[in-house]
Every structure is written in structure tokens, then in C-alpha cells.
Structure 1
Amino acid sequence: MMKNFGSSPLHNSNNHQTPNHIRERHHRKHGLLCALPWRFSLRGYGFCMAALFLFCFGSLCYQLNGGASRILLDIRQYLGKNFFFFFFFFPPISSQVIYNRVGKCGSRTVVILLRLLAEKHKFNLVSSDIHNKTRLMKQEQVDLVKNISKIPQPFLYTRHVHFMNFTRYSGAQPVYINIIRDPISRFLSNYFFRRFGDWRGEQNHLIRTPGMKDDERYLDINVCILENYPECSNPRVFYIIPYFCGQHPKCREPGVWALERAKQNVLENYLLVGILEELEDVLLMLERLLPHYFSGVLDIYKSPEYRKMGNLTGTVRKHTPTLEALQVLYHRMRYEYEFYDFIRDQFHLMKKKIGLRSTSRLPVYPPDFLRELALRTPEPLDEDEELDSDLEDANSWLVHP
């Protein structure tokens, strides 16, 4: 005799459930579903708290030590490469900033802005009145580190000086910033500025270079380049890289060693290095990365009052050399251009990471036609020859009120 399982009490209990059973089962399902999001929210809460703790701990280290610890700098470098957006939206607190400005790369424009910003945001702006000594002896470096460390924080120190590693002299490493420009444009601006000044008046450059004779003052730029005058050949045209390479004697020798060391210092010690050809984007980045120094800088820069004052810093009587002279100069400055291309690429990558959409200007002197001639450059002069005094950007009118 076969059993009828369909009529068994167990079978009937599964197929004919009461409303209470159904309600109880729904409650069990909803209870499990509600537990899942609660579990995930706790994990997210823990992550947020850990990030907040790291941020607060880093800020505390900045305030107590006048700068970040080595481990925090390593974390910042890692996050800067992989999670740049984190530092864009949550910028670190930097109480020590150094702008070791490169001559004829818009430094007077930026210093004017900093004067106005320092008054607005109440930070200490210290502009050195030394303009013709970028390379320092060891004791001079020690003294400068001590003097800078004594400035009340927050401060921004600015001077024409090659990069220095403060940790080598037991100092807290500050945040570095800088701006460079197309190397040939910088060279031409300096060449004509030394001779004819800017729109502030003829008497300024006469006071600045009183010993310059007329045959030197009115020397044709093409003759200077094509006939290998010292002012227009290496090592004098090797100018930008030493600012980032540092104080080592080899930093003044045009070559791969100085180039690679300059790149390394930029990656490890500079918060931002911009290019003058995209100055507004540079100011926007500084405003975002260092808001307690640069907040509102674009409003000031675009104001009619500033424009009128800033236009006076343009070099007068500047003109472009012949194509042949440009090609010769380009090949003498090939390391400078490799560094400039590196900085421009890094700056564009930074803009891309934060979603800054702006039109990048074409190079002032496109490499295509400058590379047409494979020319040899003359051998550099002796490394210990003192050459800075007549290459520095004279800003004495701006340093003190």
C-alpha cells in the first residue's frame, strides 16, 4: 500500500501556511537585509575616522615641528602620485613655504601678489635683499637655515637661491614652490632687461648696470650668440636647472647628472612647480593647495588695479633673434629644455588629475624648427668662475616698501 505524501500533515504545513507564518518569515528576511548595510556602514565609518585621524595627526606634526615628519612626507609623496585628488580637496597645513624664485620667470609679478596676500591673510612674507648670490658655502647654508627657522610661522620666504636640503642641517624641510618659463624666452628677457630695463623707466637699468659700456649694452643679440660671447654660451645659459639641482658644485655643470638630480628634487621636495606661460592656472593651483597663503589670488591678479601695476614689469626693446641664432641657442640649452618639458608635463598631469580644463598654450619656440640643425656647443668654462652677479634678476625696488 502506497502512502499519500500529499495528504500528510507535514506536507500540508508547507503548502497551507497561516498569515502569521508568512509574516514571521518576511520579518526574518528583512532582518537579514537590514543587517548587511549596517555592517558596510560601520566599515565606511571606520575608514573615515582613520582618514580623519591621519589628517589631524599630520596637522599636529606641522604645528609642533614646523613641518612634516619624514614618514608623512613619504605618505604625501605616495598619495600625491596615486590619490592626488585627496590632497586637492583636503590640502595639508604648511606653515613654512619657500619660493626660491628663478630670475626672469615672473617672480616680480608673484612677489607683488604675495605682498597683497600677506596683508590680507596675515602671514609673514620675508623677501631677501640679496639678489646676486644663489650658491652658498656650507656655513652660509647653515646660517640661512637657522635664520629661516626663526621666522614666526606661518611664513613665506622668497629669494633667488638654489635649492637647499634643510634636513642636512637638522632643520625641518619646508614646502618649496616655484615657476619657470620657456628657457629661450627667459634668456632673451634677461638679456634685454639688463640693458634696457622695463617700463618703469630708463634710469633703473642705468643704475643697475653702471659699469656696462655702450658697446656691450648695444651688442646685437645675434652677434652675441653666433660668435660665442660668454654671456650667450655655457655655462651662463645653463641657468634654470641649478635652482632645482641644489648647492652641489656639479649642479652648475651642464649635463645629465644635474638634470636628473633637479628632477628628483622636484618630485620629492616641491609642492608645485608651474610654468609662466600658464600663470593663471598656476595661481589657481596655488590657491587650492595653499589656501591660507593664496586664497583670492586670482581676483587680485585679474583686478584692473593690479593689471596696471603689473604691466610696468615688462622688458622693453626685446626682439627675437634670427632663426640661425635661435637654433644655436636651443642646442646649447638642450638640458634646460628637457627639464622644462618635464616640468610642463608634470604640471599638466596635475591639472588633469584635478579635472582642471584649460587651454594649454603652444611653446613659444616650437622644437620642430629649432632642432633642424645638429650643432655642437662650446666647452663649458671653469666651474669655479663666478658668473651669477650679472645674471640675477634685480628686484631691489620690490623687496622693501
Structure 2
Amino acid sequence: MKLRNLRMSDVVAAVFLPATLVMYVHLLLLTPAPPHLSPAPQASQDYTGFHEQRQGRKPQPPLSAVAQAGPESSLTLEGRGNLQLGPPINVTGDGRQDVLLVTPILRCGSTTMRNLLRILAPINHFTMVANPPTKSEVVHIPHIPTHRDIVGNISNIKRPTAMMQSFAYINFTKFEKKKPIMISLVRDPVERAISWYYHMRAPFQLVELHNRFPETRFPTRMFLKKDLETCLKNRRDPECRYIPGKEVLGHTIEFFCGHESYCPLFGDLEGLQQAKAVVEKEFAVVGLLEEWDKTLTVLEHYVPRFFKGATRKYYENIHENKIRRNENFYKPRVEQQARDYLKRNFTIEYEFYDFLHQRLNQQYWAVTKASSSQST
């Protein structure tokens, strides 16, 4: 067929249809599969021979995106039993304004927070109370009478006080008491697991533990020399096993979930949703170690009774002091392969971490918007 015998519509179809098809195929190749179509990570996969393929987290919306959305918008977090993250409501006013309860989570900046509050105490006129170190961390308390005693002791405080006590969330309303202002600080789950592993082997930690508890025996040489990569390769070593459905002492979600039977279970979906709901309703601020400056800014504006001047005092007295930040000088570099392996088992923990990240971003947006409005 000669070209002059073709209609114009035939020529257009012959040129643009193949071009459209090529562009469509190109788009399919460049666009990642949606989360619900991506293959799920295998939690029990052995570390030996693990590929360099990295199991990435869900992307975080940048602060600019949250700012454009505004405080009246809501961000939906993916996962079963989704919890809608609403406007950045300040729940500080729901609690006693003269009592601050800090939930310290091991290897999540608790030493930094303790030292900061001690510096702020005489300036902002409150008493700082922190439980002394113990042999083992107590998080899950299944006995209701113990809950009642803890609530009663805190409720009987008569003067402005900041307390640091390491146990999971307790519902004060259940015992007909007004809750204190509650805050906490968390950390990237994998970074926390690595930090915890080498903290247990740090010489200064072992000496301090032995000085406080002389009956404590020093660990074996084999324990001290064992690196994280070796621990992960040994499937029989329980120290590095993070198995969904099994109890893991002091994982991040447990602190916020409470004391139900499912809260100590690692990677439990019911515990995840419970922890999200508790944070939204009960905690004034849950900061992130990776977003320390944002955390200080939000604390100063949401809890000024205790954190007025926190940013300035932190940079004047703590920032350059590695001892006051309890930095582990002996933590070695960890292979990316080991980090990737750990990340495959921390899917639920990362969903909670991302939830807290979005909440902090919304609070920070509200603070910066209010500050900019006042300046104009």
C-alpha cells in the first residue's frame, strides 16, 4: 500500500501507538511494585550466605510534605489494622502539669535525657528522680497490685518532679488517678539492637555493673570477643535471635504496648496497634534519637514546664561530652550484610518507628508554624 493512499488517521496510529507502548513499558520498568505486591521478607532465613539485597523500609514523607498537608490532614500508616494519624493534638494538658514521667528505653538516649533533666532541674525549679541501675531491666509487670502501687506512689508526689522509671506503660485512669505528662525517646530498631549488643560487652559497662553488684561474675573471654556477625551466623546462639511471636525482653513496642500477654511478643501485630493507640492518646512527645534537634524543639514547646531552654543547655553542656551521652567507644563497625539481615526481622518494629517519625514531624510542623506566626 502506497503512503499517499493512507488516511491521516492511519498515519497517526502507525506513529503514536508504538511510541505510547514503548513509554508505557518504560514506566512499568521504572515504577516499584506497591507494598502489598512486594514479596514479604522471610523472618527465619539464615544469615549464612545472605544476599546483599536489602529489605528497605516504607518511605517516610519528608517534613515539607507534612507541612504542605497541614495540621488538619491525616496520614495513614500501612499495615493490618491501620491507625489513622490525626492532627498533632497536644495531650500535655491532659496530665498533671507538675509531674513528668519519662520512660527510658535502653540504648535510646536515656543517659543523655537524664543528664539534660538534671541540668534543667534547678533552672526550671523541679526535682529530678531517676531509678538507680539494676541487674536486669524490668519492663513487663503482669501483677495488677504492683501497677496500683506504682500509680499510687507517683500520684502522691506533691512538688514538681521529673521521674525516669523503666517499665511499660501503665494506665493511670484505670486506677482513677490523673496521669502525669508522659514522654519517651526511641531509636532506629536495628541501630538500637547493635548498640545493645556491644553495650553488654563494653569494658566500662562491665566494670560499673561489677562495682554496683560485686557478686556479678565477669563474662567469659569468648563472650567478650564474639562479634555480631559471628553471633548471627550461629543459628543455635539465642543472643541474636529476633523471632516473631517469641518473647524478647525490652523491645521498643513492649514499652508502649503495656502489660497484656501479647505485649512482650516480638513482632506481634496486636501489640503494634496497641502501642500506636497508647502513644496517640497518652504520650505528649515520643522523640527520636535520629531527630534529636526536632525532638528538643518539640519538647520545649509541648512541655515547657520542664524543658524550657533545653536546646541551649544541651549544646552548652552535653553535645561535645561523649561520657554524658554514654557513647560506646568500643563499638566496632558492623557489616552492612549483618544490618540487612537484622532489618528483615524488624518489619513490625520499623512500622512503629515510622509511625513515631510521622507523629514527631507533625508536631514539629505545628511548632514551627506557630513560631513563624508569632514572629510575623
Q: How would you bin the TM-score normalised by the shorter chain? A: 0.5 to 0.7
Give the direction of change, closer, same or farther, for the CA distance of 1:130–1:151 in structure 2 (3 Å limit): farther
Q: 1:248 aligned to 2:251?
A: no
Distance in structure 2 (CA, Å) of the matches to 1:206 and 1:168: 39
Counterpart secondary structure, 2:200: helix
Higher helix share: 1
Give the direction of change, closer, same or farther, for the CA distance of 1:139–1:237 in structure 2 (3 Å limit): closer
Q: Which has the larger radius of gyration?
A: 1
Distance in structure 2 (CA, Å) of the matches to 1:133 and 1:115: 23
What CA RMSD, in Å, does the superposition of the two structures yield over aligned residues? 2.9
Stretch moving more, 316-325 or 202-211: 202-211
User: Would the aligned equivalents of 2:116 and 2:310 in 1 still touch at CA under 8 Å?
Assistant: yes
The within-5 A match list for 1:1-400 is: 81-82=86-87, 84=89, 94-129=97-132, 131=134, 132-136=137-141, 137-197=143-203, 203-204=207-208, 207=211, 210-228=217-235, 229-234=237-242, 235-236=247-248, 239-254=251-266, 255-303=268-316, 307-308=320-321, 310=323, 313-355=326-368
Runs of 4+ in 1 over 6 A off after TM superposition: 90-93
Distance in structure 1 (CA, Å) of the matches to 2:138 and 2:249: 17
Unaligned regions of 5+ residues in structure 1, if any?
Answer: 1-79, 358-401
Give the Å deviation of 1:282. 0.8
Give the direction of change, closer, same or farther, for the CA distance of 1:135–1:283 in structure 2 (3 Å limit): same
Give the direction of change, closer, same or farther, for the CA distance of 1:82–1:346 in structure 2 (3 Å limit): closer
Note the alpha carbon deviations across 1:16-59, whole angstroms, 9 max, x for none.
Answer: xxxxxxxxxxxxxxxxxxxxxxxxxxxxxxxxxxxxxxxxxxxx
Counterpart secondary structure, 2:321: helix
Counterpart secondary structure, 2:115: helix
Unaligned regions of 5+ residues in structure 2, if any?
Answer: 1-84, 371-376
Give the Å deviation of 1:227. 1.8
Note the alpha carbon deviations across 1:323-360, whole angstroms, 9 max, x for none.
Answer: 33222211222111111111111111221233369xxx
Q: Which amino acid aligns with 1:171?
A: K
Q: Which amino acid aligns with 1:191?
A: Y
Give the direction of change, closer, same or farther, for the CA distance of 1:126–1:336 in structure 2 (3 Å limit): same
Distance in structure 2 (CA, Å) of the matches to 1:326 and 1:307: 27
Distance in structure 2 (CA, Å) of the matches to 1:238 and 1:133: 8
Identity %: 25
Counterpart secondary structure, 1:307: coil
Q: Which amino acid aligns with 1:173?
A: K
Distance in structure 2 (CA, Å) of the matches to 1:282 and 1:104: 17
User: Would the aligned equivalents of 2:248 and 2:264 in 1 still touch at CA under 8 Å?
Assistant: no
Q: Which amino acid aligns with 1:231?
A: E
Give the direction of change, closer, same or farther, for the CA distance of 1:344–1:173 in structure 2 (3 Å limit): same
Distance in structure 2 (CA, Å) of the matches to 1:310 and 1:219: 25
